[in-house]
Amino acid sequence: MRKRAKGGSTGGTMRFRSTAWARIALIGTVACAEWVEDLSEQRVPIRRRTAPDGPIPVAEKPPLPQLAAPAPPTGERILPGGYPDVEPTFYAGQRVLLPGRATVDRYFLHPELPVHYELGTVIERGRRQPELVLVSRTGAPTQVPGALVVALGTETTPAPGTWVLTPRASGYGWTRAVVNVGAGDAVLLAPVPADPAVGTLSGTRSLMVPIEQGGIGASVACRDKEDAPWTRYTVFGVEGSKLLHLSENDRLGVHHASACIALDLTPKFAVGEPIMASHFGTFEPAKVLEITDAGYGVRVRFDSTGREVTLPLLDVAHTLEEPGTGFAKRKIQAPPAPPPTRAKPVDAPVVLSTIPSNATDAPISEAEAEAAAIEENAGATENAAGEEAGAAPSEPTPEAPRDEPPAPPAPQPATPPAAPKPSAPPPSDATPGVDAP
């Protein structure tokens, strides 16, 4: 019985102790939590950089530089080089080569863009008041300056061997070819250089323009100044002595014929002969390797790059030396020279001469002039006193020698002119004046 009681009391004591420790731990945890919460609520002072008057202001971002917007193009429909906007004569149903409407609009806004020609037609619109309208290859009416329109068609069939300007088979673009066979209205054309994939072209007289030297479709070599390279252009308009042309990359421009050379249509070359040929639009020295395309083409090798290419005879020449030549159909006049500017009169140098004294030809100084004036006035006073006393006028006192050696005396004339009589002396209460010598 004692052991049970003793054992029972021991177990209860242990339970009491564990429960007490758990309560103590719980109370400590709650106390720590409250202490941490109170500590977090306290504001810890933070040191910040402040300006004398307040917080440091934040610098604003500098504005980005604003570039000046380029002036918008005006779009004025003015042809380059003062080329006149002439109105050619058309008839209903005529086929023409003309730039597309979009091409023209872009060109007048940005003249550096290319101008592409295409096939067009002239139609008559309106029954009561007939009006001729240009229609593009797509059938849409278009309006372009008349000077940019090339009228196609020829009354007679070109003879074989004639160079002609004609649109491509697709209607977009243009080409130059040689008449192979011409009979009636149908004409067979051979492009140069020959293209095996294309072969012989078939066309009609209404779709071509025979090329004349220096005329529409011909090649010309032009340059802007004497030491500039010769550039190849294809003529697309002639008005007087002005040539409207396209460059190698279809850039529209104008040159005066006096600055250009009209290339021969059928020049004769020998194998191995040095010539001038178009190399990417600029004429460069080359050597003939072969005559091709039934005598209408030539294969050349350029001296600068060694590149070999076949070119039509329209784009080569023996030499390029005399601008303004090759235009046999019309008289080429030099452009009017600007009015001569009158030379400004050059101011003649002004030579200031001084009156030499009796002793030297050297210029007299202001001090010497003042001393001479005082001495002259003093001599005049003595002469006046002598004349009143009846005595002979005293001779002037000789001039004192100068510090510098005197120059040789000036040559005196045979009869020296009489010296003017000195003026009367001023009153005694006045200061004597100083006269220039």
94-124 residue pLDDT tens: 999 999 888 888 888 888 899 999 999 998 8
pLDDT of residue 431: 37
Q: For the residues of 71-125, what is the DSSP string, one character each?
A: PPP------GGG---------TT-EEEEE-HHHHHHHHH-TTS---EEEEEEEEE
- The sign one gets for the Cα dihedral 312, 315, 319, 325 is positive
Which pair of structure tokens corresponds to residue 210? 């025979």
The pTM of the full predicted model, rounded to 2 decimals, is: 0.61
Least confident of 19-33, 135-149, 369-383: 369-383
Residue 23: helix, strand or coil by DSSP? helix
Q: For the residues of 189-233, what is the DSSP string, one character each?
A: EEESS--TTT-SEEEEGGG-EE--TTSTT-EEEE-SSTTSPPEEE
pLDDT of residue 334: 59
Q: How far is CA 9 from the centre of its chain?
A: 117
User: Taking a C-beta distance cutoff of 8 angstroms, is the pair 208, 166 a contact?
Assistant: yes
229-255 residue pLDDT tens: 999 999 999 998 899 999 999 999 999
Degrees to nearest 5, angle at CA 431 with 426 and 432:
55
